[in-house]
Every structure is written in structure tokens, then in C-alpha cells.
Amino acid sequence: MNRDLLSKVYNAAVARAHPRECLPPHLPAPPASGRLLIFAAGKAAGSMAEAAEAFYFDKHNFPRERIAGITVARHGYGRKLRKIEMVEAGHPVPDAEGIAATARTLRLAESASENDIALVLMSGGASANWIAPARGISLDDKRELTRALLRSGASIVEMNCVRKHLSRIKGGRLALALAPARVITLAISDVPGDDPSVIGSGPTVPDVTTLEDARKILDKYKITPPASIVSTLNDPANESPKPGDETFANTAFEIVAKPKASLEAAAEIAKQAGYEPVLLGADLEGEAREVATEHAALAVKLKREGRKAAILSGGELTVTIMGKGRGGPNQEYALALAIALKGEAGIAAVAGDTDGTDGGAGSADDPAGAFVGEMTLSRAQKLGLDPAGILAQNNSTHFFERLGDLLNPGPTFTNVNDLRAILVDS
């Protein structure tokens, strides 16, 4: 297994999307008068706020007393900030810290004036970190629904559609609170297609989805939500603001890092090592084990053709949880890939989430993914492991933990979704 090269490929994808590299060129000049209000949420929120502070304090010497802000990131993803408040909160299941921090976020937003600039820094994970349930919905109700959606196999787009209609900050509502200030949103994309209304559930952009869409998603996955959520989704007053709403006339949105750019950075490393990059796209979706089977077939085909290739893909796969094990989409993909490859010589792979964690218990030290090589199945057999049985139990963490093949980078302080790389040596 060429683990060193696979690690370099993964690290290149992460580095391309780190805020210290991708954010400063897009930061706006500070306001001539009024305040600079900085709001950040998501797994990269701490590092984005850190980069913004360096830009305004060190490059522009902007007065500290004219900056206010609050940043909410996943537990373990905080950074030491100079002025902006830093909060660590629950992800993917929201918690009380997220509730309290979002309440303070909305209070600060509502104080904005026409002379202020509101800088909103978004990244993947913001949907769980900015948690302000619609009135009548408790935190426990929101947690219950989040867990049900996570277990159902719903895509991130579907999950965020539901979230937007159960919130006082998502789906354009933060922009409503910030008016009449000028609102500039800079985002690191973690969603297929880089749709601004899906990143962080679109708190500063208009929403084209509807309450009816949210209800249909719950029906599709046979989710029976708490009565408070049913009531909220049936109340027309909870519809999100739509395109054409005058609130968005004084707003701007820009993506500063995209999954495609990270995929291209990974491809460059593979190319330098003598591999022909085969890019399958930066926004793949689907059931992790099914996609893995397709990719295994492609890898074997390329090997039969005598090609030395690196199959690269991004996006966010899903797992329909049937068992009681530990793991995430990348580890499940890796296990299914190993099973489908059947020990084929000359093929090795890594699958990892660029944020540094993949499913698991919601801890910052959860693995990001796993490595696969031609000896994976034979080594597992010697340890008495049953790959197919473990896959059926969604227990991929246990499998790769026993083999010592987990990918454990720790928090990367960014997030452009998953990176999967398969090296094929003819």
C-alpha cells in the first residue's frame, strides 16, 4: 500500500481549502464608518475568523473597538481569537452551547445599522452549529429529528431543506435580522453543486425550497417527527424568504473554496508521482457501499488496460444505517471497496473527509476515513474479521481500527467534503 502518497494526495486537497490560504484575497475593505460585524459558523469557522482578524488588525490596523463578532464551530475546532467570541458547539447533533451562541448571534445581528458591514463566514457544519429552532420546537425535538435524518440516508440537500423550515436563522433569516446593514457572505463549500442556499442552510440567501418540500422529504424517508415539528411545517407563517425579497438587495455572496479546487490539487500530486488522474467529479452522491462497488470495477478495468492511474472523486456519500456499529461514509466506502476489490494486486486507496472526522461519535478525534490495500482482506482474515458481516453492521471503524488503517489527521479547520483516491498500478 502506497500510504505515503495517498496521505500526500489527501493533505493537498485539505491544504487548498484552508482559510489562511483561500480567504484573505476575498475579504472586503473595512467600513469607512460604523462597525465591522463578523459572524462565522461551521467546522472552518474558527480558522476563518482567525484569518479575518489577521487581515483587519495586522494589515488594515482597524480599531478593535469597531469590530464585534461571534464564531461557532464544532467541538474541538475552536481557535484562539483576539477579539471575536469563540464558541464550540455540537455537530452533527446540536446542543445547548449552539442554542445559546446562536441566540447571541441573532441579538448582535439585530443591532446592525446601515453604516455597518456584516461579514458572514460560512463553512460545512454551520447548519448544526447555528441552531435557533422555530418557536414551539424544543432542542430535544430538533435533536430527535436530526438523528432520524442522519440514519435515514437523506442527502445533505434534503436535510438542509428540512432544517431551513424549522429555524429562526437559516433559509435567509439571518439576512432579515441584519438589515439594513450591508451583508457580505464568504463561504467554503461542502455541498454538491456549491449551491449557496444549501451551504449552512443558506442563512443569508433566498430560499427556493418550501414547507411542502420539507414535508415530502420526511414522508419519503418515513420519518414521523414530534408534534411540534409537524405543526411548524404546516404553518404558512414559517415559510422562508424567497428570491425577489428586498432584504437581499444589499447582500453579496461568494464562494472562496470549492471541492473542485481541492480535487484538482490532489490530482496534481498524483500526476507528479506518475499517475494519470481520472477525475470522476467533485460532487458525487449516493450510497457509500454502492459507489465503492462501482469504483472498484473501474479500478480493475483500468488495471486490465495497463494504465497507471489515480481515480479521484469528491462529494458527500450517504449511509443508510442498519446496524449498531461505528463508522461514517468514508470508512464504509473503504470497507466496501476492499470487499469489491477482492485483494486485487496493485490497487490502493484512501477515503477521507477533508474536515478531519467521518461520522463516529461526533468527537473531534474521530477518524476521517481509512486506507485500503491489496492485503487488507488477507490481513483481516488473519485477525478473524468478517468484512461482509462488519459492513452489514455499519461497523467499519472497528474493522480498520483492528488493522491499524484508519486515517486520523485530527481537526483540519476546513471542510470541502470528502476526498477519495484510488491508485492503480498496472
What confidence tens digit (pLDDT) does each residue in 276-316 have?
999 999 999 999 999 999 999 999 999 999 999 999 999 98
The answer on 248 and 269 residing in a single domain is no
Average pLDDT over residues 324-328: 90
Bridge-based pairing of strands 369-372 and 182-188 is: unpaired
Q: Is the pLDDT of residue 199 over 70?
A: yes
Query: 3-state DSSP call for residue 384?
Result: coil
Return the pLDDT at 156.
83
Predicted confidence band of residue 185 (pLDDT cuts 50, 70, 90): very high
Q: What residues are paired with 253 via a beta bridge?
A: 185
The answer on 78 and 221 residing in a single domain is yes
What confidence tens digit (pLDDT) does each residue in 36-81 have?
999 999 999 999 999 999 999 999 999 999 999 999 999 999 999 9
Task: Look at residue 224 and tell me if it is in a domain.
Answer: yes
For position 387, which CATH number holds? 3.40.1480.10
Return the pLDDT at 364.
85
- Domain ends where: 257, 286, 307? 257
Q: Is the pLDDT of residue 361 over 70?
A: no
For position 156, which CATH number holds? 3.40.50.10180
Task: Look at residue 290 and tell me if it is in a domain.
Answer: yes
The answer on 161 and 72 residing in a single domain is yes
Task: Look at residue 5 and tell me if it is in a domain.
Answer: no
What confidence tens digit (pLDDT) does each residue in 233-287 have?
999 999 999 999 999 999 999 999 999 999 999 999 999 999 999 999 999 999 9
For a pLDDT cut of 70, what percent of the chain falls above it? 99
Q: How many CB atoms lie within 10 A of CB 231?
A: 14
Q: Is the pLDDT of residue 28 over 90?
A: yes
The answer on 316 and 247 residing in a single domain is no
Return the pLDDT at 151.
86
- Domain ends where: 257, 282, 310? 257
DSSP assignment of 164-233, as one string? HTTBSSTTTHHHHHHTTSEEEEEEE--SGGG-TTTGGG-TTS-----HHHHHHHHHHTT----HHHHHHH
The answer on 220 and 82 residing in a single domain is yes
The answer on 275 and 152 residing in a single domain is no
Task: Look at residue 6 and tell me if it is in a domain.
Answer: no
The answer on 317 and 199 residing in a single domain is no
Q: Identify whether the C-beta of residue 296 lies closer than 8 Å to the C-beta of residue 340.
A: yes
- Closest to 82 measured CA to CA, from 58, 106, 105, 108: 58
Q: Is the pLDDT of residue 426 over 90?
A: no
The answer on 318 and 231 residing in a single domain is no
For a pLDDT cut of 90, what percent of the chain falls above it? 88
Return the pLDDT at 116.
97
The answer on 266 and 239 residing in a single domain is no
| pTM of the complete model beyond 0.75 | yes
Number of separate domains in the chain: 2
The answer on 348 and 207 residing in a single domain is no
Q: Is the pLDDT of residue 167 over 90?
A: yes
Predicted confidence band of residue 365 (pLDDT cuts 50, 70, 90): confident
Task: Look at residue 292 and tell me if it is in a domain.
Answer: yes
C-alpha cell at 215: 414535508
Q: Where are the beta strands (DSSP E) in 27-116?
A: 36-41, 67-74, 85-89
Task: Look at residue 18 and tell me if it is in a domain.
Answer: no
CA distance 242 to 207: 5
Q: Is the pLDDT of residue 349 over 80?
A: yes
Predicted confidence band of residue 92 (pLDDT cuts 50, 70, 90): confident
What confidence tens digit (pLDDT) does each residue in 375-423 have?
999 999 999 999 999 999 999 999 999 999 999 999 999 999 899 999 9
Task: Look at residue 24 and tell me if it is in a domain.
Answer: no
> Which domain, by its residues, includes 74?
31-257
Q: Identify whether the C-beta of residue 25 lies closer than 8 Å to the C-beta of residue 51.
A: no
* Average of per-residue pLDDT values in the chain: 95
- Domain ends where: 189, 224, 257? 257
CA distance 75 to 261: 27
The answer on 206 and 95 residing in a single domain is yes
CA distance 262 to 239: 35
Return the pLDDT at 393.
96
The answer on 206 and 317 residing in a single domain is no
Task: Look at residue 15 and tell me if it is in a domain.
Answer: no
CA distance 31 to 117: 6
Tell me the CA distances in angstroms from 322 to 123, 150, 242, 369, one per residue in order.
29, 12, 37, 20
Half-sphere exposure of 336 (CA within 13 A, CB side): 23
